[in-house]
Amino acid sequence: MRIRTIIAAVLLLPVLFAWTTAQNIDEIEIPNLKFEIPATEVFDLDNGIKVFFYEDHSLPVVSMDMLFKTGEILVPAEKAGLAELCGEILRTGGTESIPAEEFDQRLDFVGSRLSSSCNTEAAQVSLRTLREYAEECFLLTSKMLKEPAFSQEKLDIARENKLEEIRRENDDPHTIVRREFYRMIFPDHAYGRNPSSETVESITRLDLIDFYRTTYSPERCVIALSGDLTRVDAEVMMKQYFEGWKPDKTVEMEFPYIEEEKSGLFFIQKDMNQSYFRIGHQGIGRANPERFAVEVMNQILGVGFTSRLTSRIRVEEGLAYSVGSNFYQMDSTGSFYAYCQTRGEKTAEAISLMIQEIQQLIDGGVTAEELETAKNSIINSDIFNYATPQQVAVAKASLDFYGMPPDGAEKRIEKIRGVTRKDVSRVAKRYIHPDQFTIIVVGNEELFDRPLDEFGPVTRIEL
């Protein structure tokens, strides 16, 4: 052993001497950079659709994203999965005048991508195409929206696929942790619900048609459009293809009352050498005026290498590859969670360290340096939210879609800049409650370092 030490020392010394170019990075001059979020053109269609257009001719491509206010939130529990299937079959089920196969062929042949999806409280239709096929693609998209066929055959296939996906849900521990977490913090609510084989089997073609007709509304739609079109062409094309589409009636967007979460520790036994876990509870909605302070607070707690959770769990202790926290914001509420995966033998240690770090943030607040790092990191990298033409268009359209003012993005940066240590402490105390934590653990209890009941009563969930 001694021999090895000496060799190592001898070999490393020359490297030490070879090092001459010490650069003091504090002395490097950072030139001023004035960045303004680019402006978009905005125009309205006669049916209420608002278009946000960003002109860019650097490449012969066109991108379009349509956002709709609809989603699983409007679906009764016994039809869980209807929104997702509707979003899918809107795209795959053909139109009244174009059979599904031809529809696919026309898009695929020219290398254009059109996709459609519908999640909990928003639906999206996305198009990526070369400029020369843009009109053809707008035509297909408008046919899809105006006269979708929802082919029975495509529904049958999609339903079969969904059933197979449900059968496979427990194959991946990530899926189990996520599903169980939302099921516990949003009991009996669309936010926490998952389609089952019964609900999927019950979904009929008429359900799809009814859901589409009553919830996909142009009045609740915004379009983000960018690329190689002139402003005039863009407006003419949008009007030509997306005006004149009017649904018979539209149901109101309602947010059902959210029951209190089920806190405690929920354990799922699975034979794995690593434990996956998630700790948290309900969070804040998108419109919460304190969201800026929450963003800074969460940045310090669990985003990136410099965050407290990553520093402690990964960098100092070597307990995990992936660790962090998130304040996921939805329309009326949201979720807060910290997550990690660690070797079975360190499960309790890792959970308790995570809770300890969270508690310390609540009790002790943050340092001035931490606050500066977090704020600078958010502010200085904000430019990358507008790095491609379509990002610009989507950013502007999203503000409108979520009911924010047009200068919401600039305001956000101002607000972030104004966040103080006091604000961070206040929101940490207000929005994180360790005594109400829901903890989901998937792993092999035979390996655990300590029993998990130190974190509260353990409820076992059988898969």
Partner 1 sequence: MLKCKPLIILSLMLLVCTTGIISAESLNLNVHKHVLDNGLTLLLMQREGAPVFYNQTIFNVGSANEIGGIIGAAHLLEHMMFKGTRDLGTSDWKTEHEMMVFQDSLYGYLDDLNRKRDRLMLLKDQNETEIEALDAKIALVEESLADVESQLSELVVPNELEEVYLTNGAYGYNAFTGYDQTGYIVAFPKNRMELFMAVESARLMNPVFREFYTERDVVIEERRLSVDTQGPSKLFEQLIATAFVAHPYQIFWEWKSEVVNLTRYELRGFFNTYYSPSNAVVAIVGDIDIPETIELAEKYFGDWETKQQPRLIQVDEPEQFGERRVKVEFDANPQVNIAYHKTSFDHPDNAVFPIIERLLSQGRTSRFHKNLVEGKRVALYAETFEFPWGELGAADPNVLVIDAAPKAPATASDLEEAILAEIEKLKTEPVADSELEKIKNNLHAEFVWGMYDGFGLAGRLSEAEALAGDYRYLSAMQDRLASVTADDVMRVAQQYLTEQNRTVAILEPIVKETTDEN
Query: Which 107-126 positions form the footprint of partner 1 (CB under 8 A)?
Result: 108-112
Minimum separation from the CB atom of position 215 to partner 1 (A): 25
Q: What are φ and ψ of residue 325, in 5° steps?
A: -145, 165
Count of Cβ atoms closer than 10 Å to residue 205 Cβ: 16
User: Smaller CB distance to partner 1: residue 240 or 273?
Assistant: 273
Minimum separation from the CB atom of position 288 to partner 1 (A): 25
| Span 74-113, contacts to partner 1 by CB under 8 A | 92, 101-102, 104-106, 108-112
CB 386 within 8 A of CB 37: yes
Chosen residue from 44, 201, 316, 449 binding partner 1 by CB under 8 A: 316
Q: Which residues are CB-neighbours of 135 under 8 A, at least 6 positions away? A: 237
Determine, following the binding rule CB under 8 A, whether residue 21 of this chain makes contact with partner 1: yes
Given the structure tokens 């739609």, which residue do they identify?
221
Determine, following the binding rule CB under 8 A, whether residue 376 of this chain makes contact with partner 1: yes
Minimum separation from the CB atom of position 391 to partner 1 (A): 9
In whole angstroms, give the CA distance from residue 412 to residue 379.
9
Determine, following the binding rule CB under 8 A, whether residue 317 of this chain makes contact with partner 1: yes
Minimum separation from the CB atom of position 284 to partner 1 (A): 24
| Span 32-71, contacts to partner 1 by CB under 8 A | 32-33, 35, 58-61
| Span 341-360, contacts to partner 1 by CB under 8 A | 341-343
Chosen residue from 17, 28, 249, 254 binding partner 1 by CB under 8 A: 28
Q: Which residues are CB-neighbours of 357 under 8 A, at least 6 positions away? A: 301, 308, 309, 312, 313
Selected range binding partner 1 among 217-225, 317-325, 328-336, 428-436, rule: CB under 8 A: 317-325
Kind of pairing, strands 458-460 and 264-269?
A: parallel
Minimum separation from the CB atom of position 371 to partner 1 (A): 11
Q: Which of 150, 329, 330 is nearest to 253 (CA)?
A: 330
Work out the burial of residue 199: count CB atoms within 10 Å of its CB; fewer than 13 is exposed, 13-18 middle, 19 or more buried.
buried
Q: Which residues are CB-neighbours of 90 under 8 A, at least 6 positions away? A: 116, 118, 125, 144, 145, 148, 150, 212, 216
| Span 294-313, contacts to partner 1 by CB under 8 A | 304-306, 311
| Span 143-182, contacts to partner 1 by CB under 8 A | 157, 160-161, 163-165, 167-168, 171-173
Determine, following the binding rule CB under 8 A, whether residue 446 of this chain makes contact with partner 1: no
User: Smaller CB distance to partner 1: residue 386 or 448?
Assistant: 386
Count of Cβ atoms closer than 10 Å to residue 303 Cβ: 20
* Secondary-structure percent of the chain, ordered helix, strand, coil, rounded to 5: 50, 20, 30
Chosen residue from 48, 117, 128, 411 binding partner 1 by CB under 8 A: 128
Question: C-alpha distances in angstroms, 265 versus 22, 210, 300, 390?
Answer: 51, 40, 26, 43
Determine, following the binding rule CB under 8 A, whether residue 1 of this chain makes contact with partner 1: yes
Output the six-digit token pair for 38.
Answer: 């680019």
Output the six-digit token pair for 222.
Answer: 């915004």
Selected range binding partner 1 among 13-21, 79-87, 205-213, 429-437, rule: CB under 8 A: 13-21
Determine, following the binding rule CB under 8 A, whether residue 20 of this chain makes contact with partner 1: yes
| Span 388-427, contacts to partner 1 by CB under 8 A | 388-389
Selected range binding partner 1 among 40-48, 203-211, 387-395, 426-434, rule: CB under 8 A: 387-395
Q: Which residues are CB-neighbours of 351 under 8 A, at least 6 positions away? A: 277, 279, 439, 441, 452, 455
User: Smaller CB distance to partner 1: residue 372 or 414?
Assistant: 372
Selected range binding partner 1 among 8-16, 235-243, 255-263, 360-368, rule: CB under 8 A: 8-16
| Planar angle of CA 320, 363, 428, nearest 5 degrees | 75
- Quick note: the x/- pattern for partner 1 over 248-287, rule CB under 8 A, is ----------------------xxxxx-x-----------
Chosen residue from 191, 212, 386, 401 binding partner 1 by CB under 8 A: 386
Q: What type of residue sits at position 225?
A: L
